[in-house]
Structure 1
Amino acid sequence: MQFDQARIAIRERSWLDNLDLALQVIRTHFKAVCVLAAWGVLPLVAMNYAMLYVLLSGDLSEEATFEMVWWSLVAVLFEAPLATAPVTLYLGQALFDAHPSGRKVARDLLACLPQLFLFQFLLRGLLFVMVLSAVIPYALWPYLNEVILLERNPLSARGGQLSTMKRSSVLHRGKSGDYIARGLAAAFFGGLLVVALYVTQSMVLRVLFGVSEGWTARVLALQGVLWIVAVFFTVVRFLSYLDQRIRSEGWEVELFLRAQRERMMRHAA
């Protein structure tokens, strides 16, 4: 792993630049991103389908459709940090390694599961008053998943290492206004993407294949487009996390010095 030879140029970028770069990253790693996203998402799609069936019993009325959209959105927002964790781990590897390892992704995910469960399941469950659940994790702590998965700080401070929550506080300090603005922009663009993808697939199925949209097709199509958008913004968030570390910590200098230290140690050996 060569820290000064990153596969993505380590430099400051705007949020809009990261939206564009995310498309290029997904294109470059399309197969791996799809496989890892499916690994995390498909079990949750099945669970969400069962939940919606119990709640709505296949009802296609206007009121039931609104409830289906609402509960689907809430479920995906709540589940996304866990479901997209394999994608984030893969991107962290792919940044410095030309041949990322699926086994290493699985090992790292298992090692991070306790903190993921604590912070992204239990804590978010306690905050599951809808407004708080939407605003706090995504707007005020947008990079908590990256801190847990990629930096792997201990749960409590020890040996000079910051705890996960302290490290997250340091990384996010003084940027809450910017994060809220980005969160609102992500909600706006994400909403447009969901509508565009849903309408497009509905028209394609109806016009080209003559498939009418029943309750099951409607639920699965909505779940599909919500998760596609969630995975896309996972990549955007990863790139924004890199940008934040560069801006606040001079990360490109740290990577260069780390690479030089490793070379010196290899030569000394």
Structure 2
Amino acid sequence: MQLDQTHVAVRVRTLTEIGDLALVLLHRYPSMLLIGFLLGAWPWMIANALLLSWIPLTEAQYGLDDSEATWELIRYGTWMALLVFLQTPAAGVVTTIYLGQAVFEQKPSWRSALKISRQQFWRWFYCLGIRRLAIPVMILVALRLFQPYDTFLDITLPIIIFFVALVVRAGRPFLPEMILLEMCPLRSKNANEITLGRRARALHRPAGSDVGSRWIAVAMTLTVIFAGLFYSLVWVRGIATGYWNFGLVTLLVLYPLALWVVGGLSVVVRMIAYLDTRIRLEGWDVELAVRAEALRQFGEETGVPKVASQRPVESVPPPIPLDNAAIGESP
């Protein structure tokens, strides 16, 4: 492997260029959303349906147009959006690993990505599923099954949880990459080993304001994309069927689908932003060039195979390649 010949050329980028490269990656690897993200998201999708689908199904029996049904549907929409927001990092673990492989491999393997995600299951499930509140909130929603509407419990409380999660995630948005790609241990008896907490502080504190502001800007942009996508799906359904009201298909299928598609896009954008942050702070271009030259000079003696160079995927030349920590090595 030639470490300075990446298939996904990553360099220092502005936020708009990060979005542009995300679209380039989705064009080159469309299976990231069609297959990869679905592999990680389908258990969460089923769980959400079991927890919340009873609300629109119950209201549909009495009609979805009265005022009482309106508040119940707001309840459904609020909890569904919160759950998808909290679950997206955990649902995107396979896509994150696949993207890490795609940086250096022309044909990354879903089988390999799934294998790594299974090996790291308890680590990412604890950090992304429990500590990031996805599982606790699902338990809270389960306790509200078939309970009557309550303004505080079904509207105010989800909004409070959302803002708490927003602040936590904006402070450390790259936790999935540190767990899955850098494989930092959660804790260690070795004082010199870089644990997840130390790595998070080292990566996020020096660029805290920039990372946080970028995350908020991306979140706002993705919200606009969600609104456009959702109403586009409703429009297509209306054109195809002639039915324009918000029925069960819209509530149970189109609304969650739009949320999950935008969630999958957020995983791709976050991964590119992570790579960009690391090259800004750690100078991967210099390190990678030195390591690549060492491999070319001593590769045969060290048993490192050499491969033919590949043309990188790039939307804005010239590229500056990144370190192979993106495919699973510790920094």
Aligned ranges 1:158-173 → 2 under 5 Å: 158=190, 160-173=192-205
Q: Any stretches of 5+ residues in structure 1 without a counterpart?
A: none
2:276 is aligned to: 243
Tell me the alpha carbon deviations over residues 162-212 of structure 1, each in whole angstroms, 9 at most, x when there is no partner. 001211110101333223322321222111111111111111111133355
Identity of matched residues, %: 28
What is the CA–CA distance in structure 2 between the aligned matches of 1:85 and 1:211, rounded to whole Å? Answer: 37
Say which of 70, 75, 97 aligns to 1:89: 97
Q: TM (normalized to structure 1)?
A: 0.92
Tell me the alpha carbon deviations over residues 130-155 of structure 1, each in whole angstroms, 9 at most, x when there is no partner. 32112212x10011111111100122
Matched, 1:69 2:77: yes
1:177 alignment partner AA: S
Cα distance change of structure 1 residues 107 and 159 upon mapping to structure 2, 3 Å threshold? farther
1:16 alignment partner AA: T
Deviation at 1:127, TM superposition (A): 8.8
2:180 alignment partner AA: L
Deviation at 1:56, TM superposition (A): 5.2
- 1:49 and 1:220 in contact (8 A); partners too: no
Deviation at 1:78, TM superposition (A): 1.1
1:6 is aligned to: 6
Matched, 1:176 2:184: no
Please say which of residues 105-114 and 229-238 is displaced more in the overlay.
Answer: 105-114
Equivalent residue of 2:53, what SS? helix
1:260 alignment partner AA: E
Equivalent residue of 1:174, what SS? coil
- 2:33 and 2:261 in contact (8 A); partners too: no
Please say which of residues 97-106 and 11-20 is displaced more in the overlay.
Answer: 97-106
Equivalent residue of 2:4, what SS? coil
| Higher RCO (C-alpha under 8 Å, 6+ residues apart) | 2
Matched, 1:50 2:50: yes
The alignment of Structure 1 onto Structure 2 pairs a total of residues equal to 268
- 1:68 and 1:219 in contact (8 A); partners too: no
Deviation at 1:81, TM superposition (A): 0.9
- 2:175 and 2:200 in contact (8 A); partners too: yes
Say which of 229, 237, 247 aligns to 1:214: 247
Q: Any stretches of 5+ residues in structure 2 without a counterpart?
A: 138-160, 303-331
Matched, 1:119 2:127: yes
CA RMSD of aligned residues (A): 2.0
Question: 4+ runs of 1 displaced by more than 4 Å?
Answer: none
Normalized per residue, the structure richer in helix is 1
Deviation at 1:240, TM superposition (A): 0.6
Q: TM (normalized to structure 2)?
A: 0.75
Cα distance change of structure 1 residues 2 and 33 upon mapping to structure 2, 3 Å threshold? farther
Aligned ranges 1:186-201 → 2 under 5 Å: 186-201=218-233
1:176 alignment partner AA: G
What is the CA–CA distance in structure 1 between the aligned matches of 2:23 and 2:49, rounded to whole Å? Answer: 29
